[in-house]
Amino acid sequence: MNPSFVLPYTAVLSARFRMLLQYRAAALAGFVTQIGWGAIRIMAMEAFYRSTTAPQPMNLEEVVTYVWLGQALLGLLPWNPDTEIRNMVRSGTVAYELVRPVNLYTYWFSRSLAFRIAPTLMRSIPLAMLALLFFGMQPPASPESLLVWLAATAGAVLLTTALTVILSITLMWTISGEGVAFLAAPIIYLLAGMVIPLPLFPEWAQFILEMLPFRGLCDAPFRLYMGHISVAEAWAVLLHQWIWIFILVGLGAWMLSRAKRRLVVQGG
Amino acid sequence: MSHIRLENIVKTFRIARRRPGLWGAFHGVLRREYRTIKALDRVSFELERGELVGYIGPNGAGKSTTVKVLSGILVPDSGRCEIDGRVPWRDRIANAANIGVVFGQRTQLWWDLPVIESFDLLRDIYRVGSGDYARARDELAALMDLEPLYDVPVRQLSLGQRMRCDLAAALLHAPSVLFLDEPTIGLDAVSKLAVRGFIKRLNRERGVTVVLTTHDMDDIEALCDRVMVIGHGRILSDSTLDDLRARVTRERRLIIDLLDEDQTIADPDVSFVSRSGNRIHLQFDPDRVQTAALISRITAKYAIKDLFVENPPIEEIISRLYDEHELR
């Protein structure tokens, strides 16, 4: 690809990234909260495992690793629209977005990519270190597991970004964005495996959970990491992710072209 | 060929009507009523390359909507529009690379970044070569004294500083057209003069076509040879400022500072407008009485400290034009 073609997008990505890295206090607060929540979730899971005699699809040690991975990568979940785009839609500054000689979808995707990665990166590495050393999180099952987990995490990043852009585009209709975040967050948390690991869901729910895109955000990559899904089966996880990435990018681009046509810029 | 051409542009907005009160809000959930607002009603005009035109009208008249159609942000319901032969909304990206836009009430700079980083980012977004960029940036910086502001985060700039930076930001990619939507809004007198001076030079020296919307009539007087007035989505007047003035009123103002505060002036050819302390504003029609004759008559009769003749303020001209078209 012509380097000047991608320049606007990489430029806005790296600028946003640098801006987000300034929020160190927020990162620290998130870090502390997520350790607390992780501990609570693990206590609940321990209580559950102690009171059951039936064999479970995951042992407690695996669940602990699953929970800590989830806590470390919490910020990656598409639980809210891009705050920068929300502010622009509210203030009407979004008009400037449309006078840039760029493809608006790609431009917003680049912004949201930074918005998802930067805060997560700041929190996840120290949190994972701590959990590995002190809180019973296990290292990857094998070097191969580590590799397929990395590949699936890359897929999860694109998936979450595609979903975040869709959430951001809904702002063009709803303006505030709070309602959307309110609806989206609990549903996505549940269906991604952030509340209860997906393998612990009842049998009848498994098919639905397998089909939906959300398992590609947390559940599937986590299970690749711990070898709960074998390296040989990794291709199915990646294929599932990439099919959904294509669908959601297509959907987002279509929504944005519709939104542009009905756009009423606030004020002025 | 004209640089910008609009022909019968129509743009309507559908706005949800809300009834007042709690019951109204509830009703709105069940059944929405919409009312249609014609923001632009067959707007047509042409601009030649290098023109500097003032575009004025009351709030909600359609000024900003016109600018948004021209910049490809809004798609009109019907009508034709071309800039350099491109249809803005169909060829949005190519058009965007060719125009600069400043919405005075909003900044296009990154709030948390130092000014220079916003500029660098715009260089990349507009894909400006580094040589062209450095030249454009340095020129703009010299014209508006921006260099001391380079390292300041945008949120710490005063409004006047911010506007200078915003103007520069809109021009880094050397556009051939500049749309300025209220660029002097909220600025202090010194900043206004700086902004005006810059716009004038840009237009004279570089031949950039400028469309300036404003409520500040001093902007118009200082900058624009041609003025378009819009109201209710229609172009009401499109002429030079002098023609507009002549068409609306021939009157002149005679302002007199009296020596004695209790005095009044009576003359068959003048009518009284207002008075504050010993300053009296009168008006007369120069077709009915010669200005020189009138002045000598009055100075002979009354004890006068100072006296001068003015055109009625442009605000009044515009306000009369609005009245004619029932815009209030």
Residues B71, A98: C-beta atoms closer than 8 Å: yes
B44 backbone dihedrals φ, ψ, rounded to 5°: -135, 135
- Confidence at residue A262, expressed as pLDDT on a 0 to 100 scale: 67
Among A101, A74, A89, A261, CA closest to A167 = A89
- Confidence at residue A182, expressed as pLDDT on a 0 to 100 scale: 81
Residue A110 has pLDDT above 90, yes or no: yes
Closest CA of chain B from A135, distance in Å: 37
> Mean pLDDT across the stretch A231-249?
95
Question: When comparing pLDDT for A263 and A243, which is higher?
Answer: A243
In this structure, what is the dihedral angle of CA atoms B217, B222, B226, B231, given to the nearest 10 degrees? Answer: -10
> Mean pLDDT across the stretch B290-297?
88
- Confidence at residue B27, expressed as pLDDT on a 0 to 100 scale: 67
- Confidence at residue B29, expressed as pLDDT on a 0 to 100 scale: 65
**pLDDT-derived band at B4, boundaries 50, 70, 90:** very high
**pLDDT-derived band at B328, boundaries 50, 70, 90:** low
pLDDT, tens digit, for every residue of A111-120?
Answer: 999 999 998 9
pLDDT, tens digit, for every residue of A147-185?
Answer: 999 999 999 999 999 999 999 998 887 766 677 778 888
Ranking A240-254, B105-119, B263-277 by mean pLDDT, the lowest is: B263-277
> Mean pLDDT across the stretch A130-143?
91
**pLDDT-derived band at A66, boundaries 50, 70, 90:** very high
- Confidence at residue A268, expressed as pLDDT on a 0 to 100 scale: 39
**pLDDT-derived band at B105, boundaries 50, 70, 90:** confident
What mean pLDDT value characterizes chain A?
Answer: 89
**pLDDT-derived band at B318, boundaries 50, 70, 90:** confident
User: How many whole angstroms separate alpha carbon B256 and alpha carbon B306?
Assistant: 6
Residues A264, B13: C-beta atoms closer than 8 Å: yes
B4 backbone dihedrals φ, ψ, rounded to 5°: -130, 135
**pLDDT-derived band at B49, boundaries 50, 70, 90:** very high
Closest CA of chain B from A6, distance in Å: 9
> Mean pLDDT across the stretch A130-158?
94
B87 backbone dihedrals φ, ψ, rounded to 5°: -85, 115
Closest CA of chain B from A162, distance in Å: 21
Chain-centre distance for alpha carbon B168:
18
**pLDDT-derived band at B25, boundaries 50, 70, 90:** low
User: How many whole angstroms separate alpha carbon B153 and alpha carbon B119?
Assistant: 12
A243 CB-near residues (< 8 Å, 6+ apart): none
Ranking A42-51, B142-151, B256-265, B318-327 by mean pLDDT, the lowest is: B318-327
Question: When comparing pLDDT for B216 and A65, which is higher?
Answer: A65
- Confidence at residue A266, expressed as pLDDT on a 0 to 100 scale: 45
Positive/negative CA dihedral, B9, B12, B13, B19: positive
High-pLDDT (> 70) share of chain A, %: 95
pLDDT, tens digit, for every residue of A184-211?
Answer: 888 999 999 988 899 999 989 999 999 9
The domain locations on chain A are 3-262
> Mean pLDDT across the stretch A73-88?
88
- Confidence at residue B111, expressed as pLDDT on a 0 to 100 scale: 86
Residues B73, A95: C-beta atoms closer than 8 Å: yes
Closest CA of chain A from B229, distance in Å: 17
> Mean pLDDT across the stretch A83-96?
86
Residue B217 contacts residue B318 (beta carbons within 8 Å) = yes
Query: Mutate which of B70, B112, B178, B211 to disrupt the A interface (most A C-beta within 10 Å)?
Result: B112
Q: Quick one: which H or E segment has residue B162?
A: helix B159-169
Give the max Cα distance, chain A: 66
Residues B117, A22: C-beta atoms closer than 8 Å: no
Closest CA of chain B from A139, distance in Å: 39
Residue B166 has pLDDT above 90, yes or no: yes
Q: Does A26 touch chain B (CB under 8 A)?
A: no
- Note the pTM of the prediction, 2 decimals: 0.86
pLDDT, tens digit, for every residue of A8-63?
Answer: 899 999 988 888 888 888 888 888 888 999 999 999 988 888 888 888 888 888 89
Q: Does ipTM exceed 0.90?
A: no
Residue A238 has pLDDT above 50, yes or no: yes
Residues B68, A8: C-beta atoms closer than 8 Å: no
Residue B307 has pLDDT above 70, yes or no: yes
> Mean pLDDT across the stretch A91-106?
90
3-state secondary structure chain A: CCHHHHHHHHHHHHHHHHHHCCCHHHHHHHHHHHHHHHHHHHHHHHHHHHHCCCCCCCCHHHHHHHHHHHHHCHHHCCCCCCHHHHHHHHHCCHHHHCCCCCCHHHHHHHHHHHHHHHHHHHHHHHHHHHHHHHCCCCCCCCHHHHHHHHHHHHHHHHHHHHHHHHHHHHHHHHCCCHHHHHHHHHHHHHHHCCCCCHHHCCHHHHHHHHHCHHHHCCHHHHHHHCCCCCHHHHHHHHHHHHHHHHHHHHHHHHHHHHHHHCCCCCCC
Chain B positions with Cβ closer than 8 Å to A: 13, 64, 68, 71-75, 92-94, 96-97, 99, 101, 103, 105-108, 110, 112-113, 117, 121, 124-127, 181
What is the number of CB-based contacts under 8 A between chain A and chain B? Answer: 77
Q: Name the residue with tokens 């050397």.
A: B174
pLDDT, tens digit, for every residue of B171-226?
Answer: 999 999 999 998 888 888 888 888 899 999 999 988 999 999 988 888 888 899 89
- Confidence at residue B270, expressed as pLDDT on a 0 to 100 scale: 87
Q: Which residues of B fall within a CB distance of 8 Å from A4?
A: 127
> Mean pLDDT across the stretch B64-82?
91
Ranking B23-27, B70-74, B126-130, B307-311 by mean pLDDT, the lowest is: B23-27
In this complex, which of B68, B124, B181 lies closest to A11 when CB atoms are compared?
B124
